A and B are shown apart, each in its own frame.
Chain A
Amino acid sequence: MPMTMAEKILAAHCGRDEVRAGELISCRLDFVMSNDVTAPLAIQEFRRLGVERVFDAQRVAFIPSHFIPNKDIQSAENAKLMREFALEQGTVYYEQGRAGVDHVLLPDDGWVLPGDAVVGADSHTCTYGALGCFATGMGSTDVACAMATGDIWMRVPASIKFVYKGRPGRWVGGKDIILHTIGDIGVDGALYCAMEFHGEALGEIGMEGRFTISNMAIEAGGKAGLMVPDDVTLDYVRPRAKREWTVYQPDPDALYQEVREYDVSALEPMVALPSSPANAVPLSKAPPVEIDQVFIGSCTNGRLADLRLAAEVIDGRKVHPRVRCIVIPASHDVYLQALREGLLETFAEAGCAVSTTTCGPCLGGYMGILAEGERCVSTSNRNFPGRMGHARSEVYLANPAVAAASAVAGRLAGPEEVTR
């Protein structure tokens, strides 16, 4: 029987020739991750299991990312608990100053690879699907048990195939493609499903734009967001991989719940208006609202290509006097490379606040919290009420070029308008 990408990978991880959507399986795992928000509960549940050691220390990672550098005493206690457990078990661990936003760091350092089955105690674990692996977010208890046993129960998801045709325009990238898709299918449009992304447009946007697309699969309710590895993927993976990997491809006649096609040639930069990622509209249809803050960063758009794009727009210009523009490279390596390329200087010259790596404001943790009534244009992934601060603050999701242009204009604006 022909299989989808998800079915192929999951069959290989439960010792079967084939699996079908809807089946319950026990899935062998190649990698399990957790971060400073979800690890304390996971470690507590791991202890309750009465197990001495994690199943394989080189396949378990703890990444300080959300409230780092520790924002208060309670966060410091959580980070300490996680660090001590990681050191005791000898797992993969990065200390602050080398760490980064988990979903940028783990692929960049070659811990998660094509063909893997990965679970993480963070909903954006689906990011890794861009590599051609099956990666999905779970809660702390699931991840605690996964760390102990190296497997997890899973229902094989049905798959929806998304085909992106055409060549995206100058200021259009992965963020716009996925916001357009979520706007089309809704925040539960792919509930319980694997999203399988295809099409020539993916060949145009590089690995970083692909991560952005898979990253937001969860924003449509998706269980995973998979892509088929190509030369771009393997050129990215080869110098980084910590171990062997496997390339899987879906069968041409695999059974999909649905197939959706988009032509991205005419796609504009997209903006998700408050307060749902599905409230996506083309920038030209978005109201030119005055803004108070811009955030450029996160596991969605805090990679080097994102910073280059934002710097290109903001170079030689100034952040609007009324606006604070917060730029946070999503990992220490991204930070260092951005420093070497002069991007951080460009941002600082323009009047941006440039920070060490953290998830920080994306989830309303710290480093850029909104007051009542304030508006932020953000390159992150969610804009639910109160996501970035006060319950009556507003977040507009956009790509890094739109975010940078808005910082200069002091209102929601496009890069063409600012760089003209």
Chain B
Amino acid sequence: MSLRGHVHRYGANVDTDAIIPARYLNINDAQELAEHCMEDIDAEFVARVQPGDIIVADTNFGCGSSREHAPLCIKAAGVSCIIAKSFARIFYRNSINIGLPILECDEAVEGTESGDELEVELESGTIRNLTRGRMFQAKPYPDFMLELMGAGGLVEYTKRRLAGRSG
């Protein structure tokens, strides 16, 4: 799958309170949550983001709480992919589980600025910076993760497992 969009660049340790503050955590609808995505650290994000856009951040993206509202609202805001040097582990699991692609790549983060246009090949992990004419290679997904994503996320994967058990 090929993704293409413009970059919204953030620093290190973007926490889940910044992605979606707790005052909105009684909302369960992803579209409604998306209206408040990133609002405390980037008030213009929601107005600026276009379908397919890509978030690029430094280390430990998504640290803090376990709230699945965080990747859900990023996905619903139209973001197609997040590239970071590293992710907080609960955020990593949540994103894979709900079908929001995330990639780890130090070089792509270093070689990318806000507004750059990127093209990402998920299967190969190839990241092209079309604005700067550079190419980067993300860390490959473990096989198990590919299987999980191939099944369409954790719920579909678990459904298959459960069907296998009873069958």
Tell me the A residues contacting B by CB distance below 8 Å: 24, 37-38, 40-41, 44-45, 48-51, 66-67, 71-72, 74-75, 78, 120-123, 125, 137-142, 144-145, 148-149, 153, 187-188, 191-192, 221, 223, 276, 363-365, 369, 382, 384-387, 391
Cα(A191)–Cα(B59), bound, Å? 10
* Cβ-closest 10 pairs across A and B: A139-B94, A139-B68, A391-B40, A188-B60, A363-B22, A74-B26, A123-B66, A141-B97, A386-B40, A145-B158
Closest beta carbon of chain A to B46's beta carbon, Å: 15
Closest to B95 in A: A139
Contact present for B88 and A142 (CB under 8 Å): no
Q: A385 contacts which chain B residues (CB < 8 A)?
A: 17-18, 40-41
Chain B, residues 133-149, CB within 8 Å of chain A (1/0): the string is 00000000010100010
Contact of B18 among A67, A192, A386 (CB under 8 A): A386
Task: Count chain A CB atoms within 10 A of each CB in B17, B23, B69 and give the residue with the most.
Answer: B17
Interface size class of B (residues with CB under 8 A): 35 or more
29 A-B pairs within 8 Å (CB atoms) are namely: A24-B144, A37-B22, A37-B26, A41-B69, A44-B28, A45-B155, A49-B155, A49-B159, A50-B159, A51-B162, A72-B26, A78-B28, A122-B65, A123-B64, A138-B66, A139-B66, A139-B90, A141-B97, A142-B94, A148-B158, A148-B162, A149-B161, A153-B144, A188-B60, A188-B63, A363-B65, A384-B18, A385-B40, A386-B18
Contact present for A123 and B65 (CB under 8 Å): yes
Closest to A143 in B: B66
Contact present for B162 and A223 (CB under 8 Å): no
Cα(A141)–Cα(B161), bound, Å? 15
Closest beta carbon of chain B to A354's beta carbon, Å: 22
B154 within 8 A of A: yes
Contact present for B67 and A187 (CB under 8 Å): no
Cα(A364)–Cα(B65), bound, Å? 13
Closest beta carbon of chain A to B12's beta carbon, Å: 8
Tell me the B residues contacting A by CB distance below 8 Å: 13, 15, 17-18, 21-23, 25-28, 40-41, 59-60, 63-69, 71-72, 86, 88-90, 93-94, 97-98, 142, 144, 148, 153-155, 158-159, 161-162
Closest to A74 in B: B26
Contact of B23 among A44, A123, A139, A364 (CB under 8 A): A364
Which DSSP category, helix, strand, loop or mixed, fits chain A's interface? loop
Cα(A51)–Cα(B159), bound, Å? 9
Closest beta carbon of chain B to A352's beta carbon, Å: 23
Q: Provided the pairs A50-B159, A137-B90, A187-B13 are in contact, do residues A38 and B68 lie with their beta carbons within 8 angstroms? A: yes
Closest beta carbon of chain A to B140's beta carbon, Å: 15
Cα(A123)–Cα(B69), bound, Å? 13
Closest beta carbon of chain A to B120's beta carbon, Å: 23
Closest to B39 in A: A391
Closest beta carbon of chain B to A18's beta carbon, Å: 20
Q: A369 contacts which chain B residues (CB < 8 A)?
A: 23
Q: B90 contacts which chain A residues (CB < 8 A)?
A: 123, 137-139
Contact present for B60 and A365 (CB under 8 Å): no
Q: Provided the pairs A72-B26, A276-B13 are in contact, do residues A382 and B40 lie with their beta carbons within 8 angstroms? A: no
Closest beta carbon of chain A to B116's beta carbon, Å: 25
Contact present for B26 and A364 (CB under 8 Å): no
Contact of A192 among B59, B89, B148 (CB under 8 A): B89
Contact present for A364 and B17 (CB under 8 Å): yes
Q: A66 contacts which chain B residues (CB < 8 A)?
A: 25
Contact present for A142 and B21 (CB under 8 Å): no
Closest beta carbon of chain A to B165's beta carbon, Å: 8
Closest to B85 in A: A188
Closest to A365 in B: B22
Contact present for B89 and A223 (CB under 8 Å): yes
Q: A24 contacts which chain B residues (CB < 8 A)?
A: 142, 144
Contact present for B66 and A188 (CB under 8 Å): no
Contact of A41 among B22, B68, B148, B161 (CB under 8 A): B68
Closest to A278 in B: B13
Closest to B89 in A: A192
Closest beta carbon of chain A to B108's beta carbon, Å: 19
Q: Provided the pairs A24-B142, A382-B17, A382-B64 are in contact, do residues A191 and B89 lie with their beta carbons within 8 angstroms? A: yes
Closest to B159 in A: A49
Contact of B67 among A38, A148, A188, A221 (CB under 8 A): A38
Given A384-B64, A387-B22, 10 more pairs with CB closer than 8 A? A123-B64, A137-B90, A139-B71, A139-B97, A140-B66, A221-B60, A364-B17, A382-B17, A385-B40, A391-B40
Q: Provided the pairs A148-B158, A187-B13, A191-B89 are in contact, do residues A364 and B22 lie with their beta carbons within 8 angstroms? A: yes
Contact of A387 among B17, B159, B162 (CB under 8 A): B17
Contact present for B159 and A384 (CB under 8 Å): no
Cα(A248)–Cα(B81), bound, Å? 41
Cα(A48)–Cα(B154), bound, Å? 11
Closest to B157 in A: A145
Closest to A40 in B: B28
Contact present for A48 and B155 (CB under 8 Å): yes
Q: Provided the pairs A141-B98, A385-B17 are in contact, do residues A191 and B66 lie with their beta carbons within 8 angstroms? A: no
Cα(A153)–Cα(B92), bound, Å? 14
Contact of B154 among A78, A145, A276, A391 (CB under 8 A): A145
